[in-house]
């Protein structure tokens, strides 16, 4: 299968021009192409030379590689008239550009031709009829981008910037007011994020506690030794912000559960807690591992999981 690779982007404007003109599979009329475009078509393996001709049998116009002039109705060789020289993009040419992020890249003729159900999870599709980032399935498992941005994927840092833009748009979909007041949905979100994080393993979920939260457990490898972690989900969207005293209580509670670490996930934290945590002084508490997932960080984590955004915030 012909490959569209990074090597095709030494002249990005020419590549995009040929793709825009040829995605529909029609004739790229040689007489209407620029000299650079003709050279590109001659050298590129996902573009083939063709002629467009009037068929002597059926009287219709057909397009075929030189030497394969056949009637599309009878599949028989025919005499040709009114030939036009040109090129066309080979059908089903594959985009073979890898990015570090866990996205699949595709090119499509137009946004209306995309069936997101047939695409892998987290796909980016470049199309000629969009001029900004568009989510085709609300939460953005399938993202449409302007075809003109394709050259950015072969640049060193541009793919990261595009992913940042996508994730920023996803974060804006997260509205804590859409979750239930009891915190059950928030708990499910937190525990799903823990389970999907490759850093953690041996996940299990406990019961409710009297301290504004729900408990779960996981383990992490610290210096080659598995360390048991207490996970607390504290949904305080309309309540008091979590402060350093509550963190200290969670650290003491972890010892009762034979845990040497704590993850506290919460919407709101006090300013003093944020300052102390950023300064690293909270790390001196009675645990070997402490993480505080505040609202903005949880939104950032969710931005990488559009299915969770769709499940908890868009249904």
* pLDDT score for 295: 94
Question: What is the Cα 105 distance to its own chain's centre?
Answer: 9
- Residue 135 C-beta-side C-alpha neighbours within 13 Å: 23
* pLDDT score for 279: 65
* pLDDT score for 168: 96
Global pTM reads 0.83
Enumerate helices (H) and strands (E) in the chain, giving the number of each.
8, 15
Selection from 244, 194, 196, 243 nearest residue 214 by Cα: 194
| 174, 193 Cβ separation under 8 angstroms | no
Q: What is the mean pLDDT of each run of 10 residues along the chain (315 residues)?
A: 90 94 92 96 95 89 90 87 92 88 91 89 94 92 95 90 95 96 93 96 74 77 93 89 88 90 92 69 75 94 95 91
The full set of domains in the chain, from first to last, is 6-89 (no CATH), 94-171 (no CATH), 177-314 (3.40.1350.10)
3-state secondary structure of 242: strand
């Amino acid at each position: 299968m012909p490959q569209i690779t990074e090597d095709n982007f030494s002249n990005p404007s020419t590549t995009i021009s040929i793709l825009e003109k040829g995605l529909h599979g029609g004739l790229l009329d040689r007489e209407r192409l620029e000299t650079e475009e003709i050279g590109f078509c001659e050298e590129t393996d996902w573009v083939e030379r063709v002629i467009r001709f009037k068929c002597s049998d059926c009287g219709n116009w057909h397009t075929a590689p030189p030497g394969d002039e056949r009637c599309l109705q009878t599949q028989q060789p025919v005499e040709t008239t009114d030939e036009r020289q040109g090129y066309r993009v080979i059908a089903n040419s594959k985009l073979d550009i890898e990015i570090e992020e866990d996205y699949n890249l595709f090119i499509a003729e137009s946004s209306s031709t995309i069936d997101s159900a047939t695409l892998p999870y987290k796909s980016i599709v470049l199309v000629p009829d969009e001029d900004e980032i568009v989510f085709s399935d609300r939460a953005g498992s399938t993202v449409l981008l302007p075809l003109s941005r394709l050259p950015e994927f072969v640049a060193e840092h541009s793919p990261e910037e595009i992913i940042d833009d996508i994730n920023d748009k996803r974060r804006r979909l997260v509205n804590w007011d859409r979750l239930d007041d009891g915190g059950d949905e928030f708990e499910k979100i937190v525990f799903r994020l823990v389970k999907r994080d490759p850093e953690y393993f041996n996940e299990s979920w406990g019961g409710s506690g009297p301290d504004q939260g729900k408990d779960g457990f996981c383990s992490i490898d610290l210096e080659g030794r598995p360390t048991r972690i207490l996970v607390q989900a504290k949904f305080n969207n309309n309540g008091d912000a979590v402060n350093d005293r509550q963190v200290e209580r969670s650290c003491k509670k972890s010892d009762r559960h034979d845990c040497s670490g704590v993850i506290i996930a919460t919407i709101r934290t006090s300013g003093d807690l944020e300052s102390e945590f950023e300064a690293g002084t909270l790390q001196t508490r009675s645990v070997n591992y402490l993480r505080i997932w505040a609202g903005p960080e949880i939104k950032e984590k969710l931005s990488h999981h559009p299915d969770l955004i769709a499940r908890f915030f868009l249904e």
